[in-house]
Structure 1
Amino acid sequence: METTELIKKFYTGLKESNGEQMISCYHDDVVFEDPAFGKLEGERAKKMWLMLCKNGKGTKVEFSNIKANEQTGSAHWEAWYNFSQTGRSVHNIIDASFEFKDGKISKHTDYFDLHKWASQAMGWKGKLLGGTNFFKKKLHQQTKATLDKFQG
């Protein structure tokens, strides 16, 4: 499968809450990283998408600007959802980069403004603390615990 088609398949899976389709695009040794979850490898990266698809009821996703060659790729995507812990509305704007190995995504990094996200998801507390290392560390602990619980 061509790499641009692979990225489209990945985001179509996200748009349709089809975690299995998404993780079929990932290499077994995939490394995922973003400001909310930090660095996840292999099965944990795959489980994160399964969890987000399962728990992300009502999430709207749009993707665009997909560019790729045999080694690397990029995409822009946006998500609209209610943050589960506060019920607050979030519009997250994300730019992604990819690396490929054996016809699959081997590295996936999402970039977004964590402070802006925190302000939307958590209100004044997020606006106040969302740009700090303290907040980032606490968020990584929380997302890790949520993923651990999902994995059983």
Structure 2
Amino acid sequence: MNDNERTIETFYNAFARLEPDTMAQCYADEVAFDDEVFSLRGKREVMGMWRMLCAVTREKGADVWQLRHSGVQADGKSGRAHWDAHYRFSATGRIVDNSIDAQFEFAPDGRIVRHRDSFDFWRWSRQALGAPGWALGWTPMLRAKVRAKADGNLRRYMQSLAA
């Protein structure tokens, strides 16, 4: 296992234990993160998201939380992994099983500078939102609504940490 593969392993092992401080050590200050819901720039924003997700999971879903990762591969510049999360979506209380493919780019010091998670938004929305997700999860309208809500939640969470 090379150093960049170890970084990915460290990241997901820490996430499985809901340990954002350890996750943060894996990211460069100038990291960019994108997935179907978030588009974040800089370690402050990216770690704000992970800290929020870990905190909410500890508070409202630790009883069902599971994360498994596999397929970790990396070379000197990039890497990838697959991860599956089983959790309670806090907004609805519904159980979600999400299957995610991650891609990474690394700085010369081995920390992550780019992290892209990809998952089937319609599949996620059907589980997380129920009937509205089933009916509208494939539409740009619902995706935009979910993105706006998540962004607002993140901004409020980060403001609460600064207060």
TM-score category, normalised to shorter length: over 0.9
User: In 2, Cα distance between the equivalents of 1:132 and 1:62?
Assistant: 29
Equivalent positions of 1:83-122 (< 5 A) are: 83-101=89-107, 102-122=109-129
Paired AA for residue 41 in structure 1: R
Which range is displaced more, 131-140 or 88-97?
131-140
* Amino acid across the alignment from 2:128: A
CA deviation after TM superposition for structure 1 residue 125, in Å: 0.5
Name the SS of the counterpart of 2:154 in structure 1: helix
Matched residues, percent identical?
37
Alignment correspondent of 1:64:
70
Hey, what's the Cα distance between the residues in 1 that align with 2:76 and 2:57? 31
Q: In the TM superposition, what is the alpha-carbon distance from 1:146 to its structure 2 partner?
A: 0.4
Which residue type is aligned with residue 143 of structure 1?
A
Q: Hey, what does 1:40 align to over in structure 2?
A: 40
Separation in 2 of the partners of 1:40 and 1:67?
Answer: 24
Query: How far apart are the structure 2 equivalents of 1:103 and 1:67?
Result: 14
Segments of structure 1 that go 5 or more residues without pairing to the other structure are none
1:134 alignment partner in structure 2: 141
Paired residue secondary structure (2:82)? strand
Q: Which residue of 1 aligns with 2:82?
A: 76
Distance in 2, matches of 1:86 and 1:53, equals 17
Note the C-alpha offset of 1:26: 0.4
- Name the counterpart of 2:22: 21
User: Normalising by the residue count of structure 2, what TM-score does the alignment of the two structures yield?
Assistant: 0.90
| Aligned residue number for residue 130 of structure 2 | 123
Q: What are the ranges of 5 or more consecutive residues in structure 2 without an aligned counterpart?
A: none
Question: Which residue is equivalent to 1:4?
Answer: 5
Following superposition, the deviation at residue 23 of structure 1 comes to: 1.1
SS of 1:6's equivalent in the other structure is helix
Structure 1 residue 103: Cα displacement: 1.4
Shift of 1:98: 0.2
Question: For structure 1, which segment, 48-57 or 75-84, has the greater mean C-alpha deviation from structure 2 after superposition?
Answer: 48-57
What is the CA–CA distance in structure 2 between the aligned matches of 1:45 and 1:9, rounded to whole Å? Answer: 17
Q: CA deviation at 1:144?
A: 0.6
**Cα distance in 2 between the residues matched to 1:142 and 1:23:** 24
Q: How many residues align?
A: 151
